[in-house]
Chains A and B, each alone.
Chain A
Amino acid sequence: MIFLTRRATFSASHFYWNDKWTTEENERVFGRCANRNGHGHNYTLEVTVAGEPDPVTGFVVDLKWLKDVMERDVLAEFDHRHLNLEVPEFAEGKLIPTSENIAIAAWKRLEPAVLGAGGAGLSRVRVYETPEIFAEYRGGK
């Protein structure tokens, strides 16, 4: 089994807010992230797929294909957007766009294309909010 990883970057804004809580509770739990005007990050999306190299091409998956899938299924809708307002998974308070939830959302967006292509499975999605802060999802519960 070979693990292949591709990185891409996107820039987006977000804020953390739970509608069930008072303003004070939101500010206590989320600190400055609760500023409803939002703030932004240069995110790095790191996608790892796992499989056996194809005997003819030597590829687990074609990196250009994976780049295009990440671009089409994630970056086209996340890059230069306000995650709370413009991305369906998070819009209207459905889900707080933490790095954990962004990683899970990216996984769900990428999995159909990766599985559909055959030959490799999605192994890990990492979302770096800054170079020092990241979240990871490996699928499942």
Chain B
Amino acid sequence: MAARAYFGRRVGLSASHRLHSDGLTVDENRAAYGKCNNPHGHGHNYVVEVLVGGPVDPETGMVVNLADLDEVLRTRVLERFDHTNLNLDSLFLNHVPTTENLCRAVFELLKDAMPVGELEYVRVEETENNFFEYYGE
């Protein structure tokens, strides 16, 4: 039985967003989101960190091949979100694109797409000083 280990990968993506809820008034949006509610949005250099768990393949010494994982991250996450306005993505038509919701969206996009192993968590860093993690339900 191969030992279980984890493989982590961090990738950057740059995107804009505006925090605004249609369920709140103008004043309530301003109170809830502050500068993040400014009408034209703003952007971040996000870092998405994924951790994949699984047995270490005795033939390769790997939980997952980096090239295979990168391909999934590229097609499922980076091509979708990098250099885009998150508010315009279909996933955020009914959800405010907070980094909490982005983190959960990335997890859901990736959880069934791992080349091998299981997605342990997704962490999204909005800036160097704030980040969010989601481990699934």
Contact = CB atoms under 8 A, between A and B. Distances in A.
Contacts of B10: 131-133
Contacts of A20: 59
Contacts of A136: 5-8, 51
B113 to A, nearest CB: 19
Interface residues on B, range: 20 to 34
Interface stretch (A4-12, A64-72, A74-82, A97-105): A97-105
A135 B9 contact: no
A31 interface: yes
A140 B53 CA distance: 13
A37 to B, nearest CB: 19
Contacts of B62: 98, 100
B93 interface: no
Given A16-B61, A96-B60, A96-B61, A104 B11 contact: no
Interface in B65-106: 65-67
A29 interface: yes
Given A132-B11, A133-B66, A18 B59 contact: yes
Of B2, B4, B61, the most chain A CB neighbours within 10 A belong to B61
B65 A29 contact: yes
Contacts of A101: 56, 61
B11 A100 contact: no
A108 to B, nearest CB: 10
A78 to B, nearest CB: 16
Contact of A133 (B1, B6, B8, B56): B8
B63 interface: yes
Interface string A103-136: 1100000000000000000000010000111111
A96 B61 CA distance: 6
Contacts of A134: 7-8
A71 to B, nearest CB: 24
A118 B2 CA distance: 28
Contacts of B6: 135-138
Contact of A141 (B1, B7, B9, B63): B1
Interface of A: 16, 18, 20, 29-31, 95-101, 103-104, 126, 131-138, 140-141
Interface of B: 1-11, 51, 56, 59-63, 65-67
Given A96-B60, A126-B8, A133-B8, 4 more contacts: A104-B5, A133-B10, A137-B3, A138-B4
Q: Which 6 A-B pairs have the closest CB atoms?
A: A96-B61, A98-B61, A136-B6, A132-B10, A134-B8, A100-B5
